[in-house]
Amino acid sequence: MNINWYPGHMKKTKDLLKNNLKLIDVVVELLDSRIPFSSKNPDIDKIIQGKPKVVVLNKSDMADSEKLKMWQDYYAAQGIKAIPVNTIGGKGVDKIVEECKNVTREKMEALIKKGRKERPIRIMIVGVPNVGKSTLINKLTGRKSTQTGDRPGVTKGKQWVRLKGNLELLDTPGILWPKFEDEQVALNLAFTRAIKDEVLDIETLALRLIEKLMIIAPNNLKERYRLNKLGDTPLETMDMIGEKRGCIMAGRELDYTRIANIVLNEFREGKIGKITLEVPQDLVNDKIEEE
């Protein structure tokens, strides 16, 4: 399944990040807790050029808690504190502000010693589409400051937002990268709707998600769709889900579009369970396979 999606505004966003970098003190990189690796744009680290960074693992309430801890440990080994948050509920958001102050403390103190007037800490929030940037800003400000939506592409342009605690944030649209070298990365982004469904074959996408869940979360599938067992193949399991949910058209044929929408939406809403699609060990295994 070939997935590539790089609208023109994403190139503009990349240029915006580069052009405004000199104004920024710290970068907040927002990742999806269910796919911390796949939701990390590899271009970001190149663009920010060693600026202090705070990693935020959003949608932590939808992730497997044990696997979430693995990702926190993975970043801790690199000297980075990864903060799990739920931007909708607000859990963990205060820790982001605290960490931004921690990683910029030396710089701000040095400016004051040079006789510079104290100024707000300038934060840039970056992340792929639909990862929760606008919702995070709304929580940090305590008001509805930015336009939000449960689909990629809602945040259109640069926005400076003043926060309590002498902080300023620069919000940017979500940014992907032109070509996905790893098909699984592209699929994970599509599963979580970082890529618009409108540009995808959702029947095949749902089938690939079922295939993945049959391996990493078989019991979740059985419990959610009240199946005594899973099929021998992903297609058989998809058929069983369709029959259980009554997705049957005239002539007793299954409505695969309807089944696909059910499975994808229920995964995205967390109704199939708290599921993390990848763990740090996957990165090691990928390197071994490449060698």
Binding residues: 58-61, 130-135, 174
124 close to 27: Cβ distance less than 8 angstroms: yes
**Cα gap 247→264, rounded to integer Å:** 15
User: Closest Cα to residue 190, out of 168, 172, 205?
Assistant: 205
**Cα gap 98→68, rounded to integer Å:** 21
Cα distances from 99 to residues 50, 105, 268, 291, in angstroms, run: 17, 10, 29, 37
221 close to 214: Cβ distance less than 8 angstroms: yes
Strand partners, 83: 56
Cα distances from 187 to residues 16, 69, 154, 192, 279, in angstroms, run: 27, 23, 21, 9, 15
6 close to 176: Cβ distance less than 8 angstroms: yes
User: Closest Cα to residue 121, out of 237, 26, 231?
Assistant: 26
Residue 127: both structure tokens together: 């992340």
Backbone angles phi, psi at 195, to 5 degrees: -115, 135
Place of tokens 């070298």: 181
Buried b (16+ CB within 10 A) or exposed e, 47-75: bbeebbbbbbbbbbbbbbeebbeebbebb
List residues forming the annotated binding site for GTP.
Answer: 58-61, 130-135, 174
